[in-house]
Amino acid sequence: MIVVARANPREYLADRGRKPTQVCNGATNNAMAAPKTQLAFTLLVIFATGSLAEKLEDNAMFQSCLQGGCTELSLESAYLSGTIPTTIGLMTDLVTLTLYNNVLNGSLPAEIGNLTNLETLNLHHNYLSGEIPRTIGQMTALKNMFLYVNKFEGQIPTEIGMLQEMISLFISTTKLTGTIPTEFGNMQKLVQFSLHNNQLTGTIPSELGQLCNSYNDCPIKAFYLSVNRLTGTVPAELDGVKDATKWSFCNNSFNQDKVMELMDDGVLEEEECTNVATTSGASPISLTTGLFVSAVASLLALSA
């Protein structure tokens, strides 16, 4: 792995016509005693392949991050393999953790819950498996969580409902089972929400209607529950989401009367219902450019 430390890596990249997409903010050993707002250097990860655990273990600058001081760790699209080490939980000053579009496997360690300052957790397009740890409910500063296109199994932890600062929550195209937690209704700042393409069962909890009741009218702009095994009907409490830019309940086992009513109201379009099974149906609005591989390729990779 080649790491370049510079005081202003964005300026360094601008001189070379490159975009600073892979940045890890950290401090030298001499700066560790300084306030976090006065970190001396920014690490620019130019190239990183192989085991993530080995990279964190072998690199002195990353080792200093384990002692605190780093606010951002970004290693996306870096061909990293292996598991996410439990020592990630020592980077307690992290605000952003970005490891998407790698080939990471194994479970998400429970120690991730120690990152109580984290605001963005971006792990999409990997091969992470097992259950989502309940300790994730400790990350109360979390605003954006992208776990889609992985192999997570088991039920959705109810503790996610404790994350009341959440704005974007995407856990689509995994293997989650069980029901949608009623506690999700507590996340009243949600703007984008997707559980698309899982194996969820049961009914949609009426508590989700709380997402449009008390915070800034209805902030929801994207709401996806399509391609699951949900039954019953769409609760009347969700009628307040009619201003959502994207909303899909298609390819479930609902009472179709409510779905047809939403189509008549212009909330759902027939084309969306027809095509949702063959598209990702889960791309965060305004965050799609440069972040994703195609949904078809991802589904093929997961089924391989």
What value does the mean pLDDT take over residues 90-94? 93
CATH code: domain of residue 91? 3.80.10.10
What value does the mean pLDDT take over residues 65-93? 90
Res 241 pLDDT > 90: no
* CB 103 within 8 Å of CB 126: yes
CB atoms within 10 A of CB 154: 14
Q: Give the tens place of pLDDT for each residue, 145-197.
A: 999 999 999 999 999 999 999 999 999 999 999 999 999 999 989 999 999 99
Exposure of 207 by Cβ count < 10 A (0-12 exposed, 13-18 middle, 19+ buried)? Answer: middle
- How many domains does the structure of the chain reveal? 1
Res 21 pLDDT > 60: no
Confidence of residue 251 (pLDDT cuts 50, 70, 90): confident
What is the per-residue pLDDT for 256?
A: 59
Q: Which domain holds residue 16?
A: 2-303
